[in-house]
Structure 1
Amino acid sequence: MTDPRHPPVFDGHNDAILRLWRAGPARAPQNFADGPGQITVKQAQAGGFAGGLFALFVPSGPLPDRAAFRSPPYDLALPAPIDRASALAAVVGQAEVLIALDRAGLLALCRTAAEIDAAMAAGRIAAVMHLEGAEAIGPDLEGLEVLHAAGLRSLGPVWSRPTVFGHGVPFRHPSDADTGPGLTAAGKALARRCAQLRIVLDTSHLNMRGFWDVAEAGLPLVATHSNCHALAPSARNLTDAQLRAIGRTGGMVGLNFGVFFLRPDGGIAPEGTLGLCVDHLLHMLELAGEDHVGLGSDFDGAPCPPELATAAGLTALRAEMRARGLSEALIAKICHRNWMAFLRRTWGG
């Protein structure tokens, strides 16, 4: 029986599969069981990490130099676009890692809410395949159906670089996300097809015009790993109007643990950032509503508060929420119930 004071966490975003793929697919089962990184089976068990959206992500060579984040303000150039052949090879390779972990019994690759429930009840990590940046899909949507058949149930049209589908935001502080044009014609077609296939469309990394284009398509607005612009004015964070729209459309926002998206100055210093996590959660709850806020850790993709150095540290986040006066029922909603209710609304069942 689950301890009500330690509700399981269903996480909106992590980059564990990228880490495992880069380290070598043959070693992925061993590394995921108990190896380096922020999410392993051992750490998940210690922290009550029960599952989440596991991203397939195509890297742009070296990621932005984190030294820049030590001296805000900053405005880093967008990485160059990625060609489809390279993106497809990386996505297939990472999908194979995810499938291998499923076959090894280290997680359960889930396609429905019922499968997530079953995995969590059995004590297996429930993994949903997510695509962060849709470069592996052709402008005519070639490849989308194959990825959906393989288990894809969530995607973001862009990371922080342009694609044929839309435009991402730069790593810029201070700034809002009004940085250019929104979804292209191909991006709007992708949004329509995602709605038909019941694929979650993630607006994290999408610029402001693209966000509102998704709203105009009639889809619930989802930002799997984004924070509050009012508290930390990064281009990656959401304005109050965007947070209200997420609640109004029945969507979800997941708290990103990345310290430079938590800190008001956009810096990388980790001190005091666990408390900032709850500051952002409280602002999200006020504007989006208590049924539309969850977690989107960005584990294995961003520097986190020291208390959240790995998934084992999720106990510290629950304790901080409790210390700040959040009720047990609300903590359970934030940890997993809101994500699960949203996925049932989106997928059915």
Structure 2
Amino acid sequence: MPIPFFDGHNDTLLKLLEFGPGAEQRFIDGSSSVHIDLPRARSAGMAGGFFAMFPPPLKGSSGTIVPTGSIPSLPPELDIAEAQRSTFGMAAILLRLERMGALRVCRSAAEVRAAVAADMLAAVFHIEGAEAIDPDLQALEVLYAAGLRSVGLVWSRANAFGTGVPFRYPADPDIGPGLTDAGKELVRACDRMGVMIDLSHLNAAGFRDVAAISSKPLVATHSNVHAISPHARNLADWQLAAIRESGGVVGLNFATGFLRADGQMRADTGIDIMVRHVDALVEAVGEDGVAIGSDFDGALIPAAIGDVTGVPKLLQALLDKGYGEALVRKFAMENWLSLIARTIG
């Protein structure tokens, strides 16, 4: 029986949106075109996760690594109407999957635990990049009513609320200005409503603003250790220290370019480097602050993992390294559930 795990980030809904009509049934029946489908999730021990709704970049924009010495550039800002079109499309897929009995959309830690106890896939409604939310925050109320409980303020581009980091290696995340006034108000509103703020993709100045404004634990759902892989998307020592001080959580990102010391996106990346990041995260944020944030269906994953069915290999590698089963179970799920209780309710 595999150790149950809760995934801090996947982009499977975007893949399903791209499939078009019938995508929900393909998820239920199984599809080799995605990293996560229902049959493989069940066989791997996936208990649930944050299901991201990511408004894709405009056609022709770049998300590739920018080499050292060039000017950091970000994909262009996304129009709110386009962002809402794709975000609402992904939300509709999630809600249809719930109606079809494939999963349960959970709005609290108690609902997550109840879904897990009922052997239902527990899905937390998350948006990655708040472009679908207007600066007056009216759309936030609508999305909240639909089940939204987690918001990544930015993807790797600027929007009305803040600035993301470019896909740049090697680079420090200290790139660009902090949150806008609307961004600061969005953080305050999320704190009041019980919507978790995700710091992954946010630049250093924005990170500092969230830390100064929010009373909740700091969370990076899918980020790694900058000291090992000096990519702009990874967390510097001071950010990890702030997360630890707040009682927050970091989800290990499986994207090869954020794991490797050379920043290369290569499928032959070994599980050993994933374990090395876990070791560093335990040292930096403590045993209660380490979790999984795979980035399945949104990144090049180590071939040794492959898809959701490979997560037990990572958990076994942690056991083999000497982490006790109780601690590996915390990394796999319990730390996320504790965090959800303290941020969402």
1:227 and 2:233 are equivalent in the alignment:
no
Q: CA deviation at 1:25?
A: 4.1
Given that residues 250 and 292 in structure 1 are in contact (C-alpha distance below 8 angstroms), is that contact kept between their aligned partners in structure 2?
yes
Partner of 1:246: 243
Given that residues 220 and 251 in structure 1 are in contact (C-alpha distance below 8 angstroms), is that contact kept between their aligned partners in structure 2?
yes
Q: CA deviation at 1:245?
A: 1.0
Match for 2:18 among 16, 22, 25? 22
3-state DSSP of counterpart to 2:304: helix
| Structure 2: distance between partners of 1:176 and 1:103 | 44
Partner of 1:82: 78
Given that residues 222 and 252 in structure 1 are in contact (C-alpha distance below 8 angstroms), is that contact kept between their aligned partners in structure 2?
yes
Match for 1:122 among 111, 118, 125? 118
3-state DSSP of counterpart to 2:113: helix
| Structure 1: distance between partners of 2:322 and 2:267 | 23
The letter for the 1-side match of 2:301 is C
* Structure 2: 5+ residue stretches without partners: none
Q: CA deviation at 1:118?
A: 1.5
Partner of 1:307: 304
Given that residues 268 and 304 in structure 2 are in contact (C-alpha distance below 8 angstroms), is that contact kept between their aligned partners in structure 1?
no
| Structure 1: distance between partners of 2:168 and 2:152 | 20
1:295 and 2:283 are equivalent in the alignment:
no
Given that residues 220 and 250 in structure 1 are in contact (C-alpha distance below 8 angstroms), is that contact kept between their aligned partners in structure 2?
yes
| Structure 2: distance between partners of 1:197 and 1:116 | 18
Q: CA deviation at 1:237?
A: 0.2
3-state DSSP of counterpart to 1:232: coil
Q: CA deviation at 1:102?
A: 0.5
Partner of 1:325: 322
Given that residues 3 and 312 in structure 2 are in contact (C-alpha distance below 8 angstroms), is that contact kept between their aligned partners in structure 1?
no
Q: CA deviation at 1:27?
A: 2.6
Q: CA deviation at 1:270?
A: 2.6
1:92 and 2:94 are equivalent in the alignment:
no
More deviation, 289-298/318-327: 318-327
The letter for the 1-side match of 2:223 is S
| Structure 2: distance between partners of 1:59 and 1:93 | 12
Deviations 1:306-329 (A, max 9, x none): 122110111111111111111111
The letter for the 2-side match of 1:271 is D
More deviation, 202-211/75-84: 75-84
Count of matched residue pairs: 342
1:103 and 2:105 are equivalent in the alignment:
no
Q: CA deviation at 1:95?
A: 0.4
Given that residues 252 and 292 in structure 2 are in contact (C-alpha distance below 8 angstroms), is that contact kept between their aligned partners in structure 1?
yes
1:146 and 2:137 are equivalent in the alignment:
no
**Change beyond 3 A, Cα 1:233–1:23:** same
Given that residues 68 and 168 in structure 2 are in contact (C-alpha distance below 8 angstroms), is that contact kept between their aligned partners in structure 1?
yes
1:46 and 2:43 are equivalent in the alignment:
yes
Given that residues 153 and 202 in structure 2 are in contact (C-alpha distance below 8 angstroms), is that contact kept between their aligned partners in structure 1?
yes
| Structure 2: distance between partners of 1:72 and 1:176 | 13
Given that residues 68 and 171 in structure 2 are in contact (C-alpha distance below 8 angstroms), is that contact kept between their aligned partners in structure 1?
no
3-state DSSP of counterpart to 1:51: strand
| Structure 2: distance between partners of 1:9 and 1:213 | 31
- What is the RMSD of the two structures over their aligned residues, measured on CA atoms? 1.7
More deviation, 331-340/121-130: 121-130
Match for 2:267 among 270, 273, 289? 270
Q: CA deviation at 1:46?
A: 1.9
Given that residues 183 and 210 in structure 1 are in contact (C-alpha distance below 8 angstroms), is that contact kept between their aligned partners in structure 2?
yes
Q: 1:113-192 alignment to 2 at 5 Å?
A: 113-192=109-188
The letter for the 2-side match of 1:23 is F
| Structure 2: distance between partners of 1:229 and 1:14 | 21
More deviation, 40-49/331-340: 40-49
1:345 and 2:342 are equivalent in the alignment:
yes
TM-score, with structure 2 as normaliser: 0.95
1:286 and 2:292 are equivalent in the alignment:
no
Percent identity between the aligned chains?
Answer: 47
More deviation, 188-197/115-124: 115-124
Q: CA deviation at 1:250?
A: 1.3
The letter for the 1-side match of 2:92 is E
The letter for the 2-side match of 1:301 is G
Deviations 1:48-77 (A, max 9, x none): 1111000011001358768x66x9658673
Partner of 2:108: 112
3-state DSSP of counterpart to 2:50: strand
Q: CA deviation at 1:269?
A: 1.8
3-state DSSP of counterpart to 1:54: strand
TM-score, with structure 1 as normaliser: 0.94
1:258 and 2:255 are equivalent in the alignment:
yes
Q: CA deviation at 1:338?
A: 0.3
**Change beyond 3 A, Cα 1:162–1:72:** closer
| Structure 1: distance between partners of 2:326 and 2:93 | 36
3-state DSSP of counterpart to 1:153: strand
More deviation, 287-296/110-119: 110-119
**Change beyond 3 A, Cα 1:308–1:61:** farther
